Amino acid sequence: MKEPKQLSVSAIQNGTVIDHVPAKNLFKVIQILGLDKIENQITFGTNLESKKLGRKAIIKISGVFFEDEDINRIALVAPDAKLNIIKDYEVVEKKVVEVPDIIVGIAKCMNPKCITNFEPVTTRFKVVSKKNVSLKCHYCEKITDQENLEII
Amino acid sequence: MKNRSLVSIDDFSTEEILRILDLTEEFEKQPTQKLLEGKVIATLFFEPSTRTRLSFESAISRLGGKIVGFSDALNSSVSKGETLNDTILTVNNYCDLIVMRHPIEGSARYASEIASVPVINAGDGANQHPTQTLLDLYSIRKTQGTLDNLNIFMVGDLKYGRTVHSLMMAMSRWNTTFNFISPEELRMPDEFKLYLDNLGLKYYEHNDFTDIISRADIIYMTRVQKERFSDPIEYEKVKNVYVLRNSMLKNTKPNMKILHPLPRVNEIHQDVDSNPKAYYFEQALNGVYTRQAIVCSLLGIK
């Protein structure tokens, strides 16, 4: 049977497409970017086939253009994400995410004796390694590595 | 340094550390002054630490300051379930500076961000205890005449020992050579060795120190605690290896001094106490002057 060539998530006229999101982290990306709290049209597809990720998700947000600083916040959950900035159905710019130097909120400190796990303190980390992400807690000064990274 | 907090030794630049040490020297010459008259200092000890608390309270009292606070969380509103946030926001209305000891790591940094007055960390779990580090630095500089190019022996529990980690990090600013002497299970963690590697500083690891003790300028002893061992047989094997006895000190350098953060149990035999190279009780006294210097700097009085 011949398959019809069509997009699994329909195109947007103006806005941002976030591609190559690991399927299991789709909702974390939505949460980190606050997409569940905005009025704009958003379409997404998940568990799409991807050679690189196995299963990927794609998000298309109409009428929203992110600052680098904001978009980099998803680097912990979607390090390979690629952004296409769309104007008038054309890709006008491509971006990749970069792990920021400081991570506020988002991640949980793995030290069970850290104050951030006892009181409602916003977590804060200095990124000491970007490749194999390694975070140093601003409060207890202990390291949380990629393996033990948990998103709040 | 006015209105700054002291949470971690890294909060202070080398210049600032040296300024504190110079000031400590002044307080050692004249420990009783009326500098803190009219000031109220809160000592909040969420876990007991008699030694540290008494040292702070002695330091403050000798300068005419008044102290409010508690020595145990059981006697405070914490036992009623109050958050640290609320305790700090309340107490900072009552005082000019907060000294805080807390079992949870990072609590002091958090308190310093909430409080409108300076906070001194008097120990936050296994994390930091910067006034101990500063008094250690003072004791080293006083006995050696310098902090540069010294050979420091750290003995005992180097894995969990908060004081040795902070002192090692601080001394790495002065081209120090380190000798780490510990049982296999309690070795200096890799992250600290990596830190020294990156600075190009020399360090050596040993299981025993009887043969090399003659090279030491400072021997910093710590307690090897039984509960740190997963295998009790391992503890039995090593418990007497890390005990310093007077007979071991024969060939040591004339300038060599023995330091210990105290309390000591059996890791320094009592027969060492009368040796002039034993310095741990003077070290504790230096803690009072160092804390006077820190409190007065943060209040902008000195």
Of B85, B110, B127, which has the smallest distance from its Cβ to A141's Cβ?
Answer: B127
> B105 CB near a chain A CB, below 8 Å?
yes
Looking from the CA of A73 toward its CB, the CA atoms found within 13 Å total 19
What's residue B122's pLDDT?
A: 96
Cα B255 to Cα B152: distance, rounded to the nearest angstrom: 12
Domain ranges of chain B: 31-128, 131-284
pLDDT tens track for B142-185: 999 999 999 999 999 999 888 999 999 999 999 999 999 998 88
CATH class belonging to B31-128: alpha beta
Q: Which helix (H) or strand (E) covers residue B255, if one does? A: none
pLDDT at residue B118, as a whole number: 97
Q: Can you give the pLDDT at residue B56?
A: 97
Q: Evaluate the omega torsion of the peptide bond into residue B48 and state whether it is cis, within 30 degrees of 0.
A: no
How much of chain B, in percent, has pLDDT values that exceed 70?
99
pLDDT band at B266, cuts 50/70/90?
confident
**What domains does chain A contain, in order, with CATH numbers?**
15-96 (3.30.70.140), 102-151 (2.30.30.20)
The per-residue pLDDT for B81 is 83
pLDDT digits 0-9 by tens, A78-106: 888 999 999 999 999 999 998 889 999 88
Q: Is the peptide bond before B263 cis (omega within 30 degrees of 0)?
A: yes
Q: Is the dihedral of CA B264, B158, B284, B271 positive or negative?
A: positive
Query: Whose CA is closest to B259, among B287, B279, B284, B286?
Result: B279
pTM for the model stands at 0.87
**Backbone φ, ψ for residue B107 (5° rounding):** -65, -35
Residue B84 burial class via C-beta count within 10 angstroms: exposed 0-12, middle 13-18, buried 19 and up = buried
Q: Does B22 touch chain A (CB under 8 A)?
A: no
Higher pLDDT, B118 or A8: B118
Rg (chain B; Cα; Å): 19
Do B125 and A140 count as a contact with CB atoms less than 8 A apart?
yes
Tens digits of residue pLDDT in B173-219: 999 999 999 988 889 999 899 999 999 999 999 998 888 999 999 99
Q: Which residues fall within 8 angstroms of residue B160, CB to CB, at 6 or more apart?
A: B126, B186, B225, B228
pLDDT tens digit string along B69-94?
999 887 677 777 889 999 999 999 99
Checking if the pLDDT of B227 tops 80, the result is no
Give pLDDT, residue A3: 65
Return the CATH fold of B131-284: Rossmann fold (3.40.50)
Q: Could you give the C-alpha distances from B54 to A16, A133, B71, B146, B214, in angstroms and in order? A: 61, 43, 10, 29, 35
| Cα–Cα distance for residue pair B6/B118, rounded to 1 Å | 8
SS3 B257: strand
Query: Which among A118, A141, A142 is the nearest to B104, CB-wise?
Result: A118
The mean of the pLDDT values for chain B is 93
pLDDT band of A1, cuts 50, 70, 90: low
- Chain B CA closest to residue A114: B105
Is A50 a residue whose pLDDT tops 70?
Answer: yes
For the sheet with B97-102, list strands across it: B66-70, B40-45, B97-102, B119-124
pLDDT for A151 beyond 90: no
In 3-state terms, what secondary structure has residue B100? strand
Most B-contacting residue of A115, A116, A129 (CB-CB within 10 A), to test interface: A115
Residue B234 backbone phi and psi in degrees, to 5: -60, -40
Pairwise pLDDT comparison (A40 vs A5), residue with the higher score:
A40
Number of helices (H), then strands (E), in chain A: 2, 11
CA gap B134, B129 in Å, rounded: 9
| B64 φψ region: left (φ > 0), alpha (ψ -120 to 50), beta (else) | left
Residue A128, classed as helix, strand or coil, is strand
Report whether B154 contacts B220 (CB < 8 A).
yes
The pLDDT assigned to B290 comes to 98
What's the pLDDT at B150? 97
Question: In which element (H, E) is residue B273 found?
Answer: none
Chain A interface disruption, residue of B10, B104, B169, B195, most A CBs within 10 A: B104
- Residues of chain B with Cβ-Cβ distance to A118 below 8 Å are 84, 104
Model pLDDT, residue B265: 87
Q: H or E stretch including B215?
A: none
Q: Is the pLDDT of residue B221 over 70?
A: yes
pLDDT digits (tens, 9 = 90+) for A103-148: 998 899 999 999 999 999 999 999 988 878 899 999 999 999 888 8
> At CA B42, angle to CA B38 and CA B48, rounded to 5?
145
List, in sequence order, every residue forming a beta bridge with A44; answer none if it has no partner. Answer: A59
Chain B closest CA to A74's CA: distance in Å?
26
Q: Is the pLDDT of residue A2 over 70?
A: no
Nearest-by-Cβ selection for A114 from B84, B105, B128: B105
Model pLDDT, residue A4: 65
Task: Please indicate whether, in this complex, the C-beta atoms of A115 and B127 are within 8 angstroms of each other.
Answer: no
Say if the Cβ atoms of B104 and A115 lie within 8 Å. yes
How distant is the alpha carbon of residue B218 from its chain centre?
Answer: 15
Q: Does B110 touch chain A (CB under 8 A)?
A: yes
**Once rounded to an integer, what is the mean pLDDT over residues A4-21?**
85
Closest CA relative to residue B245, chosen from B278, B205, B279: B278
